[in-house]
Amino acid sequence: MIITHIQYTVRAGYAAENQEYIRRILEDLRALDRTDIGLSIFIKEDGKTFLHFLFCEHEEAEQTFFPARIAPSVENSACRKFS
C-alpha cells in the first residue's frame, strides 16, 4: 500500500474554486471504478488549507491518479509518501 499525504493552502479567494475542482476529481475517481485507489479529503478550520490522503494498492494505481492532479496550483504544498 502506498499512502500519499498532501497538505496545501490556497488564497482565500480561491478556496471555493478549489472545492469545485476537488468535486470534479472525486467524480473522475468514481468513474474509474477502481478498488485499488482511495482518496480522503479534509478542509481545515481556516477554510483554505486542504489535506488529501491518497491510498494506492500499487505503483500502477498511483500513476493512474498522480498527486499533482490533486493539488495543481497552490501557495504552500507539502507532499509526503509512505509505503
6: domain CATH number? 3.30.70.100
Strand intervals (E) in 2-62 = 2-9, 37-43, 49-56
User: Over the stretch 23-82, which tens digit does the pLDDT of each residue have?
Assistant: 988 888 888 888 999 999 999 999 999 999 989 998 888 877 765 555 454 444 455 555
Host domain of residue 66 = 2-82
Q: Quote the pLDDT of residue 40.
A: 94
Cβ neighbours, 10 Å, residue 9: 17
Number of domains in the chain: 1
Full 3-state SS string of 48-74: CEEEEEEEECCHHHHHHCCHHHCCCCC
